[in-house]
Amino acid sequence: MYAAWTVKHKPRTLAEVVGNEEAIRRLKDWVKSWDRAIPKKRAAFLYGAPGVGKTVCVEALARDWSMELVEKNASDYRTAEAIQRFAGRASQYDTLFRKKRIILLDELDGITGTEDRGGVQTIIGIVKTAQCPIVLIANNAYDPRFRTLRRHCLLIEFKKLSTYEVVRHLRNVCGREGIEAEERALRFIAERSGGDVRSAVNDLQALAQGRKLLTYKDVAWLAHRDRKEVIFEVLRVIFYSESCQEAKSALDRADMDPNMLFEWIYENAPRQLRHPNDLAAAMEALAQADLYRGRIRSTQNWKLTRYVIDLMTAGVAMAREKTQPRWEAFQFPERIRMLSRTKQERQLQTQIGMKIRRKCHVSSVRAVREVLPYLRVIFENDVEMAAGIAKWLDLDKAMIEYVVGDVRRAREIVKNIGG
């Protein structure tokens, strides 16, 4: 049965966590300070690149010190009401048996999306009055959205792991899996990960699962492979497998997490399964897999991952009954392409919406939908008025350029603000 090694071999205690000793020490000292009195900073804000151990450190600390961990992804609780319902109450009341509690809000980067209704402001309010430690986690604590929040938090940076530290963790994983690995092979995987231990473990599993010996020759081809060719081969196995076991084994060859593979399968199913009955069966399997993905996000019950894997691999493979074999090129997921292409634009829209929200007392979604179009008309036709509004809203140069849609016009507006 498929099991992600990143979950299977996740550190259970702080002693098993690799790297970032200084960050862990600061986190421990801050949590200990609650035993003496409520500290001035009632929240710790952990930040750093993905895969460096931010979340796992909090989980391990709670386990080591027998604390009740209340953990949720902040991106799943974007509205003020939802955040208050979850974190606000938990931060004020004792546990049933007076057990110490620690609250973890992960993935804070996603909290100010299109569904935002004052989520960050609510978190600030909760932090100010919290009666137990609150830990916030994001990749970038210095995002402008968190400017006010930072003042109320102890900032703790988690840095990318060194190659030596990643190798040490990979060696431990190999030992538990009964794999003998050459030092040079592990070092190659570690260097390629760029300090992201989660990525390194994923690579190790893709290369070493089912082996007893891992040599440098087994991994050296990674430097020259075409990642698209790898995923194309995985998709061929899934769409043309004649058995469930063969389809499920395809995931072991994929150099990506199951969520990205889901997007590839979803995008290409209509092209590979042309008969309506086959496509309907495949889409039903993918819909059920997506339901389990949602449950995993909301409950953090990673045991449900096996159902996602089974449905999106074996479920899709077994849907093929009437479609006749015919070569059809695989396509990059359009949803991922679109999100990547518009990410910067959506971020600017969100930031401008938040600026308008603070001044006009409307939601950021309504600000983007109803106020922003009028700003565009003003900015395009009246430089002086545009400069005044931009100054009032505290818009930076990038935001002004986005609103007016013309670099030269934006420079005139910025010049008038300075004047």
Tell me the C-alpha to C-alpha distance, in Å, between residue 224 and each of 12, 114, 211: 35, 40, 22
pLDDT tens digit sequence for 363-377: 888 888 888 888 888
Q: And the tokens for 157? A: 């940076």
Is 204 within 8 Å of 167 (Cβ atoms)?
no
**Which residues, 6 or more positions from 65, have their beta carbon under 8 angstroms from its beta carbon?**
31, 100
Q: And the tokens for 64? A: 């080591």
Residue ranges of domains in the chain: 20-157, 163-223, 227-332, 335-418
Predicted pLDDT of residue 117: 47
Q: Which amino acid is at 311?
A: L
Task: Write 290-296 long-range contacts (CB < 8 A, 24+).
Answer: 290/262, 293/259, 293/262
Predicted pLDDT of residue 202: 83
48: left (phi over 0), alpha (psi -120 to 50) or beta: left
Torsion angle defined by CA atoms of residues 133, 136, 142 and 145, in that order, rounded to the nearest 10 degrees: -110
Q: Which amino acid is at 34?
A: W
Task: Give the Cα separation of 310 and 313 in Å (integer).
Answer: 5
- Could you say which residues of the chain have pLDDT below 70? 1-3, 74-98, 110-118, 221-230, 252-257, 327, 336-344, 419
Provide CATH code, domain 20-157. Answer: 3.40.50.300
Q: Which residue has the tokens 């048996």?
A: 97
Predicted pLDDT of residue 339: 57
Q: What is the pTM of this model?
A: 0.53
Is 323 within 8 Å of 273 (Cβ atoms)?
yes
Predicted pLDDT of residue 86: 56
pLDDT tens digit sequence for 271-327: 899 899 999 999 999 999 999 988 888 887 878 888 898 999 999 999 999 888 776
**H helix runs in 85-196, sequence order:** 89-90, 119-129, 147-150, 163-177, 183-193
Q: Which residue has the tokens 């074999």?
A: 325
Q: Which residue has the tokens 């009666």?
A: 131
Predicted pLDDT of residue 57: 94
Tell which residue, 195, 177, 172, 142, has the closest CA to residue 4.
177
Provide CATH code, domain 163-223. Answer: 1.10.8.60
Q: And the tokens for 22? A: 């200084």
Task: Give the Cα separation of 58 and 33 in Å (integer).
Answer: 16
Predicted pLDDT of residue 90: 54
Q: Which residue has the tokens 């990674």?
A: 222
In the three-class reduction of DSSP (H, G, I as helix; E, B as strand; rest coil), residue 3 is classed as coil
